[in-house]
Amino acid sequence: MRRSRRLLAAAVAALTTTLLALTPLGGAQVAHAATLFSDDFSGGDLAGWSRSGGTWSVVSDDSPALQQARDGTDARLFAGDASWADQAVQARVKPLTLPGNGLVALLARASGATSYYRLAVLPGDQVRLEAVRSGRVTPLGTVSHPVTVGSWHTLRIEVAGTVVRGWVDGVPVGTGTGTLTATGRIGVQTAYATARFDDVVVTRGDTAPTSAPPTPTATPTVASPSPTASPTDTAPPSSPPPTSPTPTPTGTAPGDGSSVVAPDGSGDFTSVQAAVDAVPTGNTRRHTITIEPGTYREVVSVPADKPYVSFVGSTGDARDVVIVYDNASGTPKPGGGTYGTSGSATVTVDGNDFTARHLTFANDFDEAAHDYSAEQAVAVLTRADRLVFDDVRFLGNQDTLYHNSASVDAVGRAYFRDCYVEGDVDFVFGRGTGVFDRCEIRSLDRGSTSNNGYVTAPSTMIGNPYGLLFTGCTLTTDSAAAQSVHLGRPWHPSGNVDAIGQAVFRDSVLGAHVKDSPWSDMSGFSWRDARFFEYRNSGPGSTVTTDRPQLTDAQASTYTPQRYLAGTDGWNPVP
């Protein structure tokens, strides 16, 4: 029989008060409550788990086990309830691949896809306890412990109030004081690594132990040395320390107005646009619109006179909240004419200091069902400045993400962190300045053996040194043929000779679908006159040829996220 899944809230509450028991623990006495969640994956599926990246499945090991099989990406899987407070999380972990920039981890009290406590197995026999907030890592403790790839190890995190403790194979990793939110789910994670997980158990613990937890049921496969659980200021390879000052918060407005959108009427509004319409014109305070799970089929516009607006998916899983529509450039308008590329957008952002987290923007225009002369179909159009998209999915085909600015003389900056963007032709395009940090950029298959499209089509104005930067990203495909996708081509809107596209792909993993000669001409303009560069990419699609301009080390130091986004006001949203 499969171990029981998440218990009903009422049962948990009752058991928490009636089943507390003191358990001997190496001389210490620790209070433990009923099991909140357990999974040994014997059911063969991922029921009860929600995915954020990666390729997850249940496979056969010494027993059924959870596997994440995609390397070169940051993959997380979450379970449990966002209301969980004090908790003890334990799991068996088997790293399958663990490269120099990789990690395999157990997560506790996750308040979102990028904020949680983490116990991470790192290369070089290092295990580290960390607090991660919006991707920024604070080490809480570390221990040198033999970690064998291909062998099982037991990880355990206990969080009680602000006290966080971790163990690996019964050896203390460290103890720290955390300042993350007081409640959250649990999870597992790999970054640029592959691994298996099994026997995940979550219990409610009202008192954190003062010594090692009970001996794991799975005997460690290696001996454990004496711990040295002292704090360290060194961040793991997958989360490098910031190279600039602490981030400036998006928007400087004090206070926080809020509203809730829910399709069942349980919130303040049933549509996202209605919530935007209710934000005061000329507002000087941030207004957070929390969006409950559902598919919202509507066109949404955030006007220029409504800055400081935030869209936040309530569950922390970007797949749970979808804002979608299906207009294309050639779609007839009710009053005559067609929508055009800009008018096709499902969501248009003209208000400065907009943020979006944990949701999906999509345009599901069906190309096969229509025969329009213009089939560009935009999911999101941005024409504002200082925008942050965190754990957001952008879904479409041609022209998915139109990152623009308010005018040819204006700079529109946006930071895309841990996002997913998919499409085929020119699916990241425009004159905006955009940084894509640790994102998955997925090219869809158009059925060609030689040309399945173009990732970018920047139209950066010649006076702007910074266009599109992809750093630490992974370029993937669903099934496009090898050597069939271009990195980009230069877009000159209306033949504007001053639109000299700028794009850099650096420190990223490029799949085999990327061409050896990845840049292409467009509308009579040569790509060689554009500002296209690469730097230190890896993967089968990263072969350096004479048609692939590379930055020097000195040049690369000026093409960083902070440089792209600083502008004249020093804006820095980068963790």
3-state secondary structure 338-397: ECHHHHCCCEEECCCCCEEEEEEEEECCCCCCCCCCCCCCCCEEECCCCEEEEEEEEECC
- DSSP reduced 3-state for 309: strand
d(CA 52, CA 74): 8
Is residue 426 annotated as part of the catalytic site, yes or no?
A: yes
547 included as an active-site residue: no
Q: Count Cβ atoms within 10 A of the Cβ of residue 70 and give its class: 0-12 exposed, 13-18 middle, 19 or more buried.
A: middle
Residues 6+ apart with CB under 8 A from 266: 260, 292
Cβ-count burial 284-298 (b if 16+ within 10 Å, e if not): eebbbbbbbbbebee
Of 39, 86, 390, 399, catalytic = 399
| Interatomic CA distance for residues 504 and 487, integer angstroms | 10
Strand partners, 97: 194
Separation in Å, CA 259 to CA 11, 297, 313, 357 = 31, 19, 12, 15
What's the length of the chain? 575
**Which among 53, 95, 55 is positioned nearest to 74, based on CA atoms?**
53
CA–CA distances in Å: residue 247 to residues 250, 383, 561 = 9, 23, 12
How many C-beta atoms lie closer than 10 Å to residue 571's C-beta? 18
Q: Which residues pair with 118 in a beta bridge?
A: 107, 130
**Paired tokens of 321:** 């909240």
Catalytic residue among 320, 350, 426, 437: 426
The set of residues, in sequence order, having a beta carbon less than 8 Å from that of 341 and lying 6+ positions away, is: 329, 374, 376, 378, 399, 402
- How far is residue 147's CA from residue 512's CA, in Å, rounded to a whole number? 31
Q: Which residues pair with 18 in a beta bridge?
A: none
Indicate the SS3 state at residue 18. Answer: helix
Q: 401-426: buried (b, 16+ CB within 10 Å) or exposed (e) per residue?
A: bbbbbbeeeebbbbbbbbbbbbbbbb
Both structure tokens of 392? 């957001």
Q: Report, as residue numbers or ranges, the catalytic residues.
A: 399, 426
